[in-house]
Amino acid sequence: MAKLCVTGAAGFIGGHLAEGLLREGHEVVGLDDFSSGKRENAALLAKFPKFTLVEGSIVDPGAARRAIEGATWVFHLAAIPSVPLSMQEPERTTAVNVGGTVNVLETARNAGVQRVVLACSCAAYGDAPEQPKREEMTPRPLSPYAAQKIACELYAQTYTAAYGLPCVALRFFNVYGPRQDPKSEYAAAIPRFTTRLLAGKRPIVFGDGLQTRDFVHISDVVRANLLAATSEKAPGEVINVASGKSSSLIELIAALKQVIGPSAQRLEIEHQAPRAGDLRASSADISKARAVLGYEPRVQLAEGLAGVVDFFRQA
């Protein structure tokens, strides 16, 4: 079993990934400054004897070095993961999302890491009308966050070509699952809708609700990361990670109401003004993930939503 590093280990995706690696018997060092990560996620990981936490930022060379030194693979998930916040604070979010990524890559190079897997975003596609989104399409960023993630992809490809550090950039679509935070101002749609419906409150939709998203379950994303770390064909590539199926927000809410039951059926959608930088349509072509990684999504939306509802009912 290898020693591995997960940046952003106290976050939603990073926490699930770190847990998956620990359950496979690996030693995991997590790096997180808790700017968006949760102490309770780190506490769950701390129950595993092979988990170590380095509390610090990805922009801090010393913290990055302590977390990455001796690691075979690095999974880089730490970021300020918010389109709206990047619109408000482009300089600060760029310093973390791009500057921090370069620091992680440079530290990994100097430490002799064998593979770096980076979390990137479907926001790179912007408002390009062509659907589904394919990796060879020209990026059309609509927000600083999207531009930052595209820059991270380019740095990953550069470090692969220029320095021989094998890097893989995964473009996550809309990841969901248990432990996703519904309380943040910029919370993802599924936990926000779920907790409001369970509380007997109307779900709030920004815009008309006809915007589409490809919702991919966290367990499928964890598996995609593991495949990216081991596939011989993956270094230097940018790869979509999604379910391959898209739903409108109205369809998503209807599916949630079906899972929750009669108490949610009477709750009509409350529409508010669209948010700057939000995408109108997003669906993924996952043929490259299938070909390069051997990836195949396993969790259907209805099954995944049932698990989310169960989690929040017990929370």
Residue bearing tokens 């380019």: 154
pTM: 0.95
pLDDT digit string, tens, across residues 159-176: 999 999 999 999 999 999
Least confident of 48-52, 85-89, 289-293: 85-89
Q: Give yes or no: residues 238 and 126 share one domain.
A: yes
Q: For the chain, what percent of residues have pLDDT higher than 70?
A: 99
Please give the pLDDT value at position 42: 98
Domain membership flag for residue 184: no
pLDDT-derived band at 271 (thresholds 50, 70, 90) equals very high
125: which DSSP letter? G
Q: Which of 287, 293, 296, 168 is nearest to 231 (CA)?
A: 293
pLDDT-derived band at 37 (thresholds 50, 70, 90) equals very high
Q: Give yes or no: residues 220 and 307 share one domain.
A: no
Which positions are annotated as active-site residues? Answer: 145
Please give the pLDDT value at position 251: 97
CA atoms of 115 and 229, how far apart (whole Å):
6
CATH number of the structural domain spanning residue 118: 3.40.50.720
Per the structure, the complete domain to which residue 45 belongs is given by: 3-176+215-243+285-298
Please give the pLDDT value at position 129: 87
Q: How many domains does the chain have?
A: 2
Q: Is the pLDDT of residue 186 over 70?
A: no
Q: Is the pLDDT of residue 128 over 90?
A: no
Q: Dihedral of the CA atoms 216, 113, 32, 236 (nearest 10)?
A: -40
